[in-house]
Amino acid sequence: MASRSPTLDELRRYAIARSLFKPQTLPGAIRTLGFVQADPMRAPARAQDLILRLRVRDYRAGDLERRYERLGIEEDAFVNYGFVSREMLALLHPRTPRRPWDAATTERAREVLAFVRERGAVHPREVSEAFAHHGRVAGYWGGELNASTRLLDAMHHHGWLRVCRRESGTRVYAPVAHPEQDASPAARMARAEALVDRIVALYAPLPAPSLGYLVTLLRYGAPQLAAEARAVAKAAPSRYGHAVVDGTTWFWPVAESPASRRHQPHNGVRLLAPFDPVVWDRRRFEMLWGWAYRFEAYVPAPKRTMGHYALPVLWGEQMVGWANLRVERGRLQHALGFVAGRPPRDAGFRRALGDELARFEAFLGSAA
């Protein structure tokens, strides 16, 4: 723990420096992060690619999907859906789902599992063609999903299947059997501690209410450890570094010091994904930068204030506004908004923004 309480400026600097670390290899970046949130929306690239491009040397959109089978990672649920290491996967399973299947669904799942085991790996289309699962069910966001796809997704969440690869963005499934875990109270608590430690490491510095909220989200990835995770959060002051800053208790890994002088601001511009660890906690964002960022992809167009998929614009250690990007006729187009109502009056900002847009075009590759 730091010898003195950090200031809000130091917390801001620390939040940026520890998350936007020096770019490294793709496996190294994934190990450092522990979890990379995924989202299917491409605007103009998927969230997982936008997160990794700032942390991986020479990263190109789609590299994660192209190299997935060789990386030793898994698609699965943590506090949200995304990519986790095999070590973290072992902490999440065997998962006890919050909503058990009824007898009819269990029987259908067993039939599909036998089919997948026989084939080795299956595309949802193959299941649809082989079984009479052609009804349609409501999707998570108000759309519709093929019933077979929905069942495969549920089997994946229940731990019966794993995603072995993707084909044009569609999950291809293979059978999996997660080993049994030590069910003793001490072992269960140790797994919960490891998962909450991972939350703190990924999103620190965390205001106390945000830590509590993230721990409740573990009901998605590890519902069987919900009670233990709440106990870990309750004991956070004895487990993590912490301080009260401007009336709010903040937490971070105990071995780190937010007040360290080595957390120096980067002088460039970086365009951040809506689900980037620096941005994800909207409460923390507003506390550190003094304005409310909103993700408006699901907001009706006339009611949007920032745009369909606004990327926060980080310049040095200040969030100066947001950018909406799109590719038209092979060229990257951008539209900017600024908290102050106008761009910073600094030639350094214009140069840094131009450099970042050039990096973004290189990241998109042939898509731009």
| 354 within domain boundaries | yes
Decide which of 175, 203, 218 is a domain's last residue. Answer: 175
| 54 within domain boundaries | no
Q: How many whole angstroms separate alpha carbon 12 and alpha carbon 113?
A: 48
Decide which of 156, 175, 194 is a domain's last residue. Answer: 175
Q: Look up the pTM and report it.
A: 0.92
Give the domain range for residue 162.
Answer: 103-175
| 35 within domain boundaries | no
| 324 within domain boundaries | yes
Decide which of 138, 155, 175 is a domain's last residue. Answer: 175
| 194 within domain boundaries | no
| 151 within domain boundaries | yes
Q: pLDDT tens track of the chain, all 368 residues?
A: 445 889 999 999 999 999 999 999 999 999 999 999 999 999 999 999 999 999 999 999 999 999 999 999 999 999 999 999 999 999 999 999 888 899 999 999 999 999 999 999 999 989 988 886 555 555 443 444 578 888 999 999 999 999 999 998 899 999 999 999 999 999 999 999 999 999 999 999 999 999 999 999 999 999 999 999 999 999 999 999 999 999 999 999 999 999 888 888 788 999 999 999 999 999 999 999 999 999 999 999 999 999 999 999 999 999 999 999 999 988 999 999 999 999 999 999 999 999 999 999 999 986 55
| 223 within domain boundaries | no
Number of domains in the chain: 2
Q: Which residues contact 169 (CB under 8 A, 6 or more apart)?
A: 40, 65
The CA-atom distances, in angstroms, between 115 and each of 106, 110, 146 are: 14, 9, 18
CATH of the domain at 135: 1.10.10
| 336 within domain boundaries | yes
The CA-atom distances, in angstroms, between 143 and each of 81, 140, 155, 169 are: 18, 7, 20, 18
